[in-house]
């Protein structure tokens, strides 16, 4: 038998006809042959992508394909390949025969891991392949361009040619040798020529035409080859190196070239491309920017994709061939083989028949132990190179190989020995946590007990290959794998377990490596359990944390109603069950699982069902919880330790150990809870009715039945995104918009909504589809369940006009309506729209005004804080309200709501001048009406009724307030004339002009009044000059100040010499103040400074003047 080699080189192995002897056709290889031969014989896809890990035979397969398409061997070679295919794939055999009947011959073009310009790589490879095939065609490539350039120099430019020869002499190279190097596309002489070229061309850089016309030149080449019935089969091995070398703009250009080349190959009948790598093209751009990733993905779509993985059957056939010689030698000395019965007790080779197990594994692969056979391909895939490692392990004389084992000892080669062959201790374990764990615990192994090390190494290998999922590492399996007795294996595991190197995982039922802490946690827990107990509902809460499902969905009900309701699942005891208040439920229904702490608590379910406060769905078990109580205590203690920073700081490994103990305890608790879902051990009651529940489906149907009875008045709203308790921000904004429209334009078609966005869907699903509309008189019409909800709301308003808003909201959310929280605000406003204007909402006796969509949502979210007040006006009162509105020019439609009239009156009042709004210089009736309008903002119902009863008085009050400034102006003018003794204001201003020149030394402000020549608005000019405030902004106090000021200023202006002298003495005399005077001064100053900080400066000055006059 021919020896196995560890690798294949496409260039060197292509002429080797014996390569087929070592080739074993597999199903995955057949798929590749299918794709390529269909492209050759049926003109399907010509661009192929072959990926797979190291050692899966990619290069060998590529070489065999090239040998087949090149037809370089005899018909006997093809017959051998055909014979293999007929045994595995008859369709492939048919394709091979079809290809044998074609006249086309393909020239293999080999590229192995080249990097650089894709155009250069392809053209050079084609040039070289055609040269080797002795096909004389001028190819557009760098090598041919260089040679043609030198030939042109030789014939037409002798000086340049002589300079070139001189350059070669300096490099100690003859022209013939140089030409041979260029023809072989060697990179060094090509780079040297490109560097030399500008020195003889006046600095002109080297350029070649095919760089610009890559695809066009290939089309010309393929056409010439087609005439000779020849094609090209291009194999680019190690394509990943090329992709890894790409970066920046080069990546985009190279990907574009590759895409153009693949598209060209797919439409060219005599050209095929096979790129070979380890992963998809797009994966090489995973960390690149978006544009590059997109380009890589686009290029990959041009290729037909194949993936090679070593399957078990293929690996087994290869192993049998490779070990045949060693197997024959070893069977002569064998003492005892593993039995078929023992091997079949483990699911290692479930896909093989009994015959295959006995003859193909137990006998043909001896001395390999069956467990070692299972491990070998997995370890080869992780730490080796699949078939390469297999052949090296089975046929070479390496240390720890099978042949080395046969030479050193007799008997089986056990699975743990593979640890040394693959040098696991030296392997990288960054992505292998099991190996990292091995390196952590290895120093603690007892060197005097080799069995312990064998067990640990086997567990490490078993975990690294993830075979624990296929076969757990049980005691029996470990003994079988190591060829020892179970008692011996058990004793070794016990020792390792005490040392916290391994542990038995009761969750997964296998042994595993373990790096335990230095603390005896079992002792710590045992100490705490004597002082720990479960208080109140604590044990129920712990049980509920382990429920496999915390709620049950009634799928039939939810599908029918197009919404999501559910029943939550909770544990309880009998006492809680009898007293629980249903209003505390957050779910739509409740499923109680009764827990009996002891047999003394168990009683007849019917007796408990009769005493229940509400008709819940209850499961009464036929068992108690005594068996799980200790596990619940353990769980509580371990959980407390996990939240104890001081305890966790004792050892960095203690947290992981506690977490594992918590998981183990959880498993025991879950085993108890699982009994509640067996259903056979439970007795189910719905209220006082005994029901039969056999499985989860039956429970879902029972919940559906209960919810249909419980929520029989729920409106049908087919809008799953909105009909829920919590909605998205988009749905919330749409809801606010719809509520705004219901308030502002309820009678508009579709509420004035245009388009079909979320707001229209809410309107249509909640209102329109349920028959909601307003008639011409503003009355709400709706059908079905909406009518029932509307009737109940109106009945409650009529029965209790003042009450908690939360009572109305909870009514809508509670059975039999069960409206979701997001829907409640819209239905609340819409169904009460005809009474909305008579509804007021107060919080702490403060009226909430100007309600809109956003404020309505807040109102209902905080309904516990609000009180509603419904005021239903009689027909007579409405008529009075309408008459009231007419006094202020309001339409009859605007007078429908007393709130609208209130808003109109407030608006009218606030538009009046400030003086008119606050003065007391009006009639008592007008003042009372004005105060009632202002008070209506706080208590609109009472004050608007009062105003409606006195509607006939409003006309006079309105006229008086609107004309107040005119009347006030005349009144002020009369009082000013009385003070000054003049006949008209014009005379006052004329007197001031005459006195202005005569009043030198006098300080009256009247002398500074500017002259304008206008005779209108004289009183306003005078008032603003003296007081500094426009008359429209006055108060009654300001008017008094003005009159006092003008009196003083006029007197100051007309004071005699004696008064003036006295005045001067008051100003100029500097009298020393006594202590009492200083105290008085300080008090007056502080009072004016702090108490008078909101008083205008002019008024303060007037106050001081007045004090001086009075003193």
CA 664 to the chain's CA centroid: 32
Q: Is the peptide bond before 387 cis (omega within 30 degrees of 0)?
A: no
What tens digit of pLDDT does each residue of 95-126 get? 988 888 888 999 999 998 888 888 888 888 88
In tens, the pLDDT along 998-1042 reads 655 566 777 777 766 666 778 888 888 888 888 889 888 888 888
Omega before 816 within 30 of 0, i.e. cis: yes
Mind listing the pLDDT tens digit for each residue in 438-451? 888 888 888 778 99
Give tens-digit pLDDT for 839-872. 888 888 788 877 899 999 999 999 999 999 887 7
Please give the DSSP secondary-structure letter assigned to residue 1087.
Answer: I
- What would the two tokens of residue 294 be? 């997109």
Which pair of structure tokens corresponds to residue 118? Answer: 């894709």
For residue 917 the two structure tokens come to 């709004």
- What is residue 136's predicted lDDT score, i.e. its pLDDT? 74
pLDDT tens-digit map of 333-353: 766 888 999 999 999 988 788
pLDDT at residue 1062 is higher than 50? no
Q: Which of 819, 828, 814 lies closest to 857 in space, CA to CA?
A: 828
423-515 topology per CATH: Arc Repressor Mutant, subunit A (1.10.10)
Tell me what the pLDDT averaged over the chain comes to: 84
Phi, psi of 135 (to 5 degrees): -110, 115
CB–CB of 661/636 below 8 Å? Answer: no
Two tokens at 201?
């061309």
Interatomic CA distance for residues 978 and 1056, integer angstroms: 21
CA–CA dist 792, 787 (Å, integer)? 9
SS3 48: strand
Q: What is the DSSP string of 303-368?
A: SEEEE----HHHHHHHHHHHTHHHHHHHHTT---PPPHHHHHTSTTSTTS-HHIIIIIIIITTTTB
**1057 pLDDT above the threshold of 50:** no
DSSP result, 202-242: TTPPP--GGGTSHHHHHHHHHHHHHHTTEEEEEEEETHHHH
pLDDT score for 314:
63
Range 10-132+229-307 has CATH code 3.30.460.10: no
Q: What pLDDT shows up at residue 675?
A: 94
Which among 125, 166, 164 has a CA at the least distance from the CA of 143?
A: 125
**Band of pLDDT at residue 1060, cut at 50, 70 and 90:** very low
pLDDT of 880 above 70: no
Q: Which of 405, 388, 399 is nearest to 322 (CA)?
A: 388
Quick check: 519 pLDDT over 80?
Answer: yes
Q: What is the pLDDT of residues 779-824, one digit of tens each?
A: 899 988 999 999 999 999 999 988 999 999 999 999 999 999 999 9
């Amino acid at each position: 038998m021919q020896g196995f080699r560890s690798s294949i080189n496409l260039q060197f192995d292509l002429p080797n006809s014996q390569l087929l002897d070592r080739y074993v056709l597999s199903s995955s290889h057949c798929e590749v042959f299918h794709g390529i031969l269909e492209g050759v014989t049926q003109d399907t896809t010509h661009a192929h992508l072959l990926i797979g890990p190291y050692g899966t035979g990619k290069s060998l397969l590529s070489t065999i394909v090239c040998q087949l398409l090149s037809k370089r061997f005899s018909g006997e070679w093809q017959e051998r390949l055909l014979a293999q295919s007929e045994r595995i794939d008859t369709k492939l055999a048919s394709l091979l025969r079809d290809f044998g009947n074609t006249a086309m011959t393909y020239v293999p073009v080999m590229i192995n891991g080249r990097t650089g310009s894709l155009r250069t790589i392809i053209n050079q490879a084609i040039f070289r392949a055609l040269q080797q095939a002795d096909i004389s065609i001028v190819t557009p490539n760098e090598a041919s361009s260089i040679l043609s350039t030198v030939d042109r120099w030789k014939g037409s430019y002798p000086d340049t040619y002589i300079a070139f020869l001189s350059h070669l002499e300096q490099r100690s190279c003859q022209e013939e040798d140089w030409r041979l190097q260029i023809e072989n596309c060697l990179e060094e002489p090509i780079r040297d020529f490109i560097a030399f070229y500008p020195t003889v061309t006046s600095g002109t850089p080297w350029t070649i035409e095919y760089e610009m016309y890559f695809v066009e030149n290939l089309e010309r080449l393929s056409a010439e080859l087609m005439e000779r019935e020849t094609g090209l089969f291009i194999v680019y091995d190690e394509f990943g190196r090329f992709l890894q070398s790409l970066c920046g703009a080069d990546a985009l250009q190279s990907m574009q070239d590759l895409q153009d080349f693949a598209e060209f190959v797919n439409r060219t009948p005599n050209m095929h491309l096979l790129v070979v790598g380890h992963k998809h093209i797009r994966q090489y751009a995973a960390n690149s920017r978006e544009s590059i990733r997109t380009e890589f993905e686009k290029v990959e779509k041009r290729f037909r994709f194949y993936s090679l993985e070593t399957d078990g059957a293929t690996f087994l056939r290869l192993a049998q061939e490779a070990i045949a010689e060693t197997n024959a030698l070893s069977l002569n000395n064998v003492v005892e083989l593993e039995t078929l019965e023992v091997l079949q007790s483990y699911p290692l080779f479930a896909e093989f028949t009994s015959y295959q197990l006995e003859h193909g594994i137990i006998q043909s692969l001896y001395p390999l132990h069956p467990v070692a056979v299972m491990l070998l391909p997995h370890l080869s895939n992780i730490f080796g190179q699949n078939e390469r490692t297999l052949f090296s392990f089975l046929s070479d004389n390496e240390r720890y190989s099978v042949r080395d084992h046969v030479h050193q000892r007799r008997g089986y080669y056990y699975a743990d020995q593979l640890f040394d062959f693959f040098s696991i201790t030296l392997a990288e374990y960054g992505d292998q946590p099991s190996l990292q764990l091995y390196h952590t615990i290895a120093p603690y192994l007892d060197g005097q007990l080799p069995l312990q090390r064998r067990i640990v190494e086997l567990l490490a290998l078993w975990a690294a290959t993830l075979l624990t999922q296929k076969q757990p590492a049980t005691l029996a399996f470990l003994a079988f794998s190591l060829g020892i007795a179970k008692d011996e294996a058990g004793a070794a595991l016990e020792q390792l377990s005490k040392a916290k190197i391994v542990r038995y995982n009761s969750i997964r039922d296998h042994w595993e490596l373990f790096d335990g802490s230095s603390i005896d946690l079992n002792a710590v827990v045992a100490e705490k359990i004597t002082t720990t107990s479960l208080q109140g509902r604590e044990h129920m809460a712990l049980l509920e944390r382990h429920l496999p499902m915390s709620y049950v969905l009634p799928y039939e009900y939810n599908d029918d109603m197009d919404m999501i309701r559910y029943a939550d699942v909770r544990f309880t005891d009998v006492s809680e069950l009898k007293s629980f208040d249903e209003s505390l439920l957050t779910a739509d229904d409740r499923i109680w699982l009764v827990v009996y702490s002891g047999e003394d608590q168990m009683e007849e379910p019917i007796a408990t069902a009769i005493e229940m406060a509400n008709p819940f769905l209850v499961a009464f078990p036929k068992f108690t919880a005594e068996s799980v109580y200790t596990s619940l205590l353990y769980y509580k203690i371990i959980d407390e330790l996990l939240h104890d920073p001081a305890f966790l700081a004792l050892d960095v490994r203690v947290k992981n150990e506690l977490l594992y103990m918590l998981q183990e305890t959880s498993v025991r608790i879950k085993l108890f809870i699982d009994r509640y879902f067996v259903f056979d051990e439970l007795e189910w009651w719905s209220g006082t009715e005994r029901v039969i529940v056999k499985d989860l489906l039956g429970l879902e149907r029972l919940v559906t039945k209960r919810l249909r009875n419980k929520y029989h008045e729920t409106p049908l709203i087919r809008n799953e995104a909105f009909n829920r308790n919590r909605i998205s921000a988009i749905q919330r904004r749409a809801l606010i918009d719809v509520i705004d429209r219901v308030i502002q334009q309820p009678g508009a078609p579709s509420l004035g909504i245009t388009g079909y966005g979320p707001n229209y869907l809410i309107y249509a699903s909640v209102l329109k589809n349920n028959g909601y509309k307003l008639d011409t008189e503003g009355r709400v019409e709706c059908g079905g369940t909406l009518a029932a909800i509307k009737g109940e709301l109106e009945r409650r308003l009529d029965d209790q006009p003042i009450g908690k808003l939360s009572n109305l909201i909870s009514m809508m959310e509670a059975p039999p309506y069960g409206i979701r929280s997001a829907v409640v605000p819209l239905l609340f406003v819409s169904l009460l729209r005809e009474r909305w204007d008579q509804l007021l909402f107060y919080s702490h006796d403060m009226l909430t005004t100007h309600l809109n969509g956003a404020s309505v949502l807040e109102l209902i979210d905080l309904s516990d804080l609000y009180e509603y007040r419904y005021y239903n006006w009689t027909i007579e009162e409405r008529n009075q309200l309408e008459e009231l509105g007419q006094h202020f020019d309001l339409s009859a439609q605007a007078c429908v709501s007393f709130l609208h009239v209130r808003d109109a009156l407030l608006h009218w009042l606030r538009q009046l001048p400030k003086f008119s709004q606050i003065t007391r210089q009006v009639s008592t009736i007008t003042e009372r009406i004005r105060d009632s309008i202002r008070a209506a903002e706080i208590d609109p119902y009472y004050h608007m009724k009062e105003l409606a009863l006195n509607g006939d008085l409003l006309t006079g009050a309105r006229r008086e307030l609107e004309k107040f400034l005119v009347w006030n102006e005349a009144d002020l003018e009369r009082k000013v004339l009385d003070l000054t003794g003049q006949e008209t204001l014009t005379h006052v201003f004329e007197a001031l002009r005459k006195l202005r020149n005569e009043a030198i030394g006098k300080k009256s402000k009247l002398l500074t009044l500017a002259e304008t020549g206008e005779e209108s608005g004289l009183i306003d000019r005078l008032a603003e000059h003296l007081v500094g405030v426009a008359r429209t902004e006055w108060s009654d106090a300001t008017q008094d100040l003005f009159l006092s000021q003008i009196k003083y200023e006029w007197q100051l202006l007309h004071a005699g010499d004696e008064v003036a002298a006295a005045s001067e003495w008051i100003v100029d005399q500097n009298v020393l103040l006594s202590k009492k005077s200083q105290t008085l001064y300080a008090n007056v100053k502080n009072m004016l400074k702090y108490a008078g900080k909101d008083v205008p400066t002019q008024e303060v000055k007037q106050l001081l003047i007045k004090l001086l006059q009075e003193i």
